[in-house]
Amino acid sequence: MAILMQLTLGPLLAMLMVMVTMAQPTHLLSLLTSGQGALDLEALSSLLNTLADRVHCANGPCGKCLSVENALALDKPDKPELTPAKVLQSGFIVRLSAAMALYLSNPEGTCADIQAGRWASRADHFLALLESPEAMTPGLNQLLLRIKAHDLRQPTGEKTCVEVPQLLQEVVEAGAPSSPGPVLAALLDHVKSGACFHALPSPQYFVDFVFRQHSSEVPNMTLAELEALMQRLGVGGEAHGDHHDHDDHSQLGREANHQDLVPLDALNNSSSVWDTVCLSARDVMAVYGLSEQAGVTPEAWAQISPALLQQQLSGACNPQPTSPTQDQLSQAERYLYSSLATLLICLCAVFGLLLLTCTSCSTVTHYVMQTFLSLAVGALTGDALLHLTPKVLGLHTHGHGTEDFMHQEGVGPQATWRLLAMLGGLYLFFLFENLFNLLLPRDQDPEKAGPCTHSSHSQGGHSHGVSLQLAPRELRQPKQPHEGSCADLIAEESPELLHPEPRRLSPELRLLPYLITLGDAVHNFADGLAVGAAFASSWKTGLATSLAVFCHELPHELGDFAALLHAGLSVRRALLLNLASALTAFAGLYVALAIGVSEESEAWILAVATGLFLYVALCDMLPAMLNVQDQRPWLLFLLHNVGLLGGWTILLLLSLYEDNITFS
């Protein structure tokens, strides 16, 4: 009989042990901390079903957007084949936990992200926002508030709900680092177990906070501490008959006015989590279980008074000054670095003297000018589209706030690549037009064809239209027995160089220097605005914008100087006018630094600068490039491509990797 019982109980015990082993749930935090094991498809499917059953949307059902295929796609760009084996390793748990937390807090938005294929990038963006120790606790509190708003499971009876301090404590006890990944994994473990979440402090917390303000050993608050507390609140007056210790009270009151009196405990303390959280009136009523319809009764007012005292004492709802990030400059550094950058840009105005050094028709000077011209077009359009446009649209910021993390786009480099595709379309048509002109050459007078000849016949009116096209009909030089050079062209039109007496000028030609100077002054003022707003944003943005402005100002100023000489001005006067128009950049710079202190004003100034850069590059400089006629068209075509692609490459690298640039 005993042998029969052993034969019968043996398989039953083995089956029972197998069932217990199969029923044991998989804990994500354990997988993450151990670094061993994996999450099989059955456990993953069960987790997804649990999440879908717990959430609800305001406009009805949230829809069935969670699938095993979408979850597997978080780990790899392509969708792997589904196999019954354990396929999700422990390293996958961090991104999975962040992605699932986003679904619990915003199911509708997450479903839209899944359909758009940006669920993984949004999860990485969320993890990056919580990475800072100062931002993790407030961010987790806000996450629990949003999860609770979409949670169908409400706390019943005396069941204790999970709070942020409990999650932090569990991570510490598990031996995991205090980073967002393990905390979110612990959060999902509680979701799987059916736990509820509590995202507001207990009523006793407010009383404890007030009594934490005094440091005496006795549990009760002394008279002196009460007076100091009332002085901080701005209430009460001096008691009669207490003049003998007035000085002591005043000193205590002055000490109590300091902002650092609140002793904040460690983060795993349940009280310290709420010390810097600003609660709304609805939150306060929810803490004490008051109905919004019934309102606050006189008896309830005595209950909520500690909460109001705590909010006043902690200063949680007071506007906090934003601390500058690593790449932001102080006020003095903004003025110093931006002034140096603007000074270097203004020195382009005196580079026109280089034109006087060519004693013969220097093809090198001509080709260098054309390379700078194409580099300016590349730098201007690249800065406008790749660098400034994301900042204007709020796609690339350096802030670390967590208040609106659910609404921020996890754009990553996708926006940069799409904007680069816009430049690709521009470059495609640039190649098409150039190759068309090269393969089907236009009729031209061979006597006038040379390295300094342009086919444009602009009538002027805009400074850059004149300065970049040095041979309009009005300024055409008289025919010479020999072929003229760039230096000859300047010398023959400059009274100070060859002609002792001034030549006769038309009224249009007399007005031309003033039009050039006025147009350049306005343009340089706008350049100063752009540089100032860029340095107010960050030193990296200031560097990129200064580079773009310098690249397009150098050929502009050289061309302006030559155009002023063609208009009959002396070298000294042309240099002074060119320098005077360049100095207006300082006026724009200091105006931008004075008003460009907020992100809103920065965005508007940079938006105007973006339009200015695109107009100058595409309406002035690009036509000047396309209309140049040269004896070596293929060499000119090569140099134009080098300049364009070089400018775009510099700004593309800066846009992609500027966050990795740091001061040594």
pLDDT at 26: 62
Closest CA to 574 of 582, 563, 585, 587: 563
Q: Of the segments 132-141, 199-208, 470-479, which one has the largest average pLDDT value?
A: 132-141
262-298: b (≥16 Cβ within 10 Å) or e: beeeebbebbbbbbbbebeeeebbebeebeeeeebee
Of residues 419 and 566, the one with the higher pLDDT is 419
177-192: b (≥16 Cβ within 10 Å) or e: eeebbbbbbbbbbbbb
Please report, for the chain, how many H helices and E strands are present, in that order: 27, 2
Mean pLDDT of the chain: 68
Whole-angstrom distance, CA of residue 468 vs CA of residue 100: 58
pLDDT at 497: 38
pLDDT at 254: 39
503 pLDDT above the threshold of 60: no
Of residues 582 and 657, the one with the higher pLDDT is 582
260 pLDDT above the threshold of 50: no
pLDDT band, residue 221 (cuts 50/70/90): low
pLDDT band, residue 76 (cuts 50/70/90): low
pLDDT band, residue 100 (cuts 50/70/90): confident
The predicted-structure confidence for 601-617, as pLDDT tens digits, reads as follows 667 766 877 787 788 77
pLDDT at 399: 44
Would you give the DSSP letter of residue 159?
A: P
The number of CA neighbours under 13 Å toward the Cβ of 499 is 17
For the segment 75-88, the average pLDDT, to the nearest whole number, is 51
pLDDT band, residue 523 (cuts 50/70/90): confident
574 pLDDT above the threshold of 50: yes
Whole-angstrom distance, CA of residue 166 vs CA of residue 269: 9
pLDDT band, residue 101 (cuts 50/70/90): confident
Of residues 365 and 590, the one with the higher pLDDT is 590
For the segment 285-311, the average pLDDT, to the nearest whole number, is 77
For the segment 239-264, the average pLDDT, to the nearest whole number, is 42
Residue-range domain boundaries for the chain: 23-192, 201-234+266-317, 331-396+494-660
pLDDT band, residue 484 (cuts 50/70/90): very low
pLDDT band, residue 619 (cuts 50/70/90): confident
Q: Is 469 buried (19+), middle (13-18) or exposed (0-12) by CB count in 10 A?
A: buried
Of residues 240 and 143, the one with the higher pLDDT is 143
pLDDT at 258: 40
pLDDT at 623: 83
Percent of the chain with pLDDT over 70: 58
556 pLDDT above the threshold of 70: no
pLDDT at 286: 82
- Residue count of the chain, please give it: 664
309 pLDDT above the threshold of 50: yes
Joined tokens for residue 60: 């009805």
Whole-angstrom distance, CA of residue 644 vs CA of residue 633: 16
Which stretch of 19-33, 267-281, 337-351 has the lowest confidence by average pLDDT?
A: 19-33
401 pLDDT above the threshold of 60: no
For the segment 177-185, the average pLDDT, to the nearest whole number, is 82
Percent of the chain with pLDDT over 90: 1
For the segment 160-182, the average pLDDT, to the nearest whole number, is 80
pLDDT band, residue 91 (cuts 50/70/90): low
For the segment 107-128, the average pLDDT, to the nearest whole number, is 81
pLDDT band, residue 649 (cuts 50/70/90): confident
Closest CA to 101 of 120, 118, 121, 123: 123
Which stretch of 320-324, 481-485, 609-613 has the lowest confidence by average pLDDT?
A: 481-485
pLDDT at 172: 83
422 pLDDT above the threshold of 80: yes
359-376: b (≥16 Cβ within 10 Å) or e: eebbbebbbebbbbbbbb
Spatial neighbors of 488 by CB under 8 A, at least 6 apart, are: 361, 480
Which stretch of 176-190, 471-485, 524-538, 580-594 has the lowest confidence by average pLDDT?
A: 471-485
For the segment 29-48, the average pLDDT, to the nearest whole number, is 73
For the segment 588-598, the average pLDDT, to the nearest whole number, is 77
245 pLDDT above the threshold of 50: no
Of residues 3 and 574, the one with the higher pLDDT is 574
77 pLDDT above the threshold of 50: no
Which stretch of 50-54, 206-210, 387-391, 488-492 has the lowest confidence by average pLDDT?
A: 488-492
For the segment 356-367, the average pLDDT, to the nearest whole number, is 64
pLDDT at 586: 92
Measured at the alpha carbon of residue 406, what is the angle toward residues 404 and 409, in degrees to the nearest 5?
95
213 pLDDT above the threshold of 70: no
Q: Of the segments 91-100, 213-222, 489-498, which one has the largest average pLDDT value?
A: 91-100
320 pLDDT above the threshold of 60: no
For the segment 224-234, the average pLDDT, to the nearest whole number, is 69
Cα separations in angstroms, 303 against 55, 298, 340: 33, 9, 60
Joined tokens for residue 100: 């699932």
pLDDT at 563: 58
Closest CA to 375 of 556, 606, 530, 627: 556
pTM: 0.46
Of residues 266 and 622, the one with the higher pLDDT is 622
